[in-house]
A and B are shown apart, each in its own frame.
Chain A
């Protein structure tokens, strides 16, 4: 099956072309956070989407009924459909799937409600906001706004790996023949709760997000959305569609080990499962888009696991982190990274790991520092790890 359309809302560019340009230029989305009050925090840099106008994208659902993450999901899905050159009416005649990954869902509304509760007690009410909180609104919102009735919808809430999970859900539904297309990806809005949690864990970098760097100090929280349109290759060929990439396979597993600390052996196992599902050997992989959050623990553990699967330094393909540019967009992260992989395959480049000064010996990979490079990519692996030990790895390939 193949990727024939992509849609992106991000801090470095909205839409496939702007996003591809930003990735190639190594642009940074970091700026002082304005989405919530940061008073009292010693530092608060994040990767916020600026200037997003939901009115431009929502056609059937009133803007007031969709939370910010749902708006990102709807905008991304609409872009992906447009990008694929399929009319929304044509989609309505086919059985489909909408799957959106998220960490926080409607928690940005939830935490504003919680703040009202803390200040004013239960007398404080905002029924419209309360109705935006259930996370199912992300996937259902896409279907309703695109007018798609005959679709299975799921909002996949597997935290920071949710985007890859959602894409995997689409892959399997197409493989089993239960659906004819899948709109899948991820979306999240900046949340004070998530920022506060990572800050407290000492996992927010006060300066810049620098994955694999010896001086890295953590993530920058970010926001955005990304959706890919997947369909069987025959269908795409039959309508003469532009094909970005082939979806070769994916793998899922769970560390079953620790709530927040990734487990190297298990992460390696997930990569092996994905490569096996894709029918490719480690030596065939030309690029790894790492989870690469920029925390001490993640990058060292993930790079260790990569070495475990791919072997000694010379055998490890270039391993980059687009989070250096986008921050950690939570449930959207691996979907945004998957789109970056598809664009890299299609347009022949490797996005850089920016903010890089000196590679940590514990992360001994070629992270393509600071400047993108031209490259013919045949097979690309996209990693995602999450709290709860939820790992998901996706493998994309150059269309045959």
Chain B
């Protein structure tokens, strides 16, 4: 397991997401061009981390690519913080 401590262990049942939590956080940081230390579980991407809607679509796209999943655009409403990313992926990954 390679879970980044600063992100905490995500409260999701999906084992794929739990296992790859560190990787997911790294991806979020890369897309948001932010240091890992700056991203807490419920820090809001737009309000707290300065992302815009383009960045959120970018994030959705990279999650689809990395996890080979299909994420409905309506899920953008939930992709608002790291916990939201874990939740959305938890619903679609490895299902």
Q: Which residues of A are interface residues toward B (Cβ below 8 A)?
A: 200-202, 258-261, 297
Contact = CB atoms under 8 A, between A and B. Distances in A.
Contacts of B57: 200-202
In the A-B complex, the 10 residue pairs with the smallest Cβ-Cβ separation, listed nearest first, are A202-B73, A260-B54, A201-B57, A200-B61, A202-B57, A261-B54, A261-B52, A258-B52, A261-B53, A259-B54
Nearest to A260: B54
Given A201-B54, A201-B57, A202-B73, 11 more contacts: A200-B57, A200-B61, A202-B57, A258-B52, A258-B54, A259-B54, A260-B54, A261-B52, A261-B53, A261-B54, A297-B53
Contacts of B73: 202
A201 B52 CA distance: 13
B31 to A, nearest CB: 14
A298 B53 CA distance: 13
Interface size class of B (residues with CB under 8 A): under 10
Contacts of B53: 261, 297
A109 to B, nearest CB: 27
A297 B54 CA distance: 11
Nearest to A202: B73
A297 B53 CA distance: 10
A200 B71 CA distance: 12
Nearest to A42: B70
A261 B53 CA distance: 9
Contacts of B61: 200
Interface in B39-94: 52-54, 57, 61, 73
Contacts of A297: 53
B60 to A, nearest CB: 9
A259 B57 CA distance: 14
12 contacts: A200-B57, A201-B54, A202-B57, A202-B73, A258-B52, A258-B54, A259-B54, A260-B54, A261-B52, A261-B53, A261-B54, A297-B53
A200 B61 CA distance: 8
Contacts of A201: 54, 57
Contacts of B54: 201, 258-261
A261 B54 CA distance: 8
A397 B50 CA distance: 44
A284 B73 CA distance: 42
Contacts of A200: 57, 61
A201 B61 CA distance: 9
Contacts of B52: 258, 261
Nearest to A259: B54
A204 to B, nearest CB: 11
Contacts of A260: 54
A258 B61 CA distance: 20
A161 B50 CA distance: 28
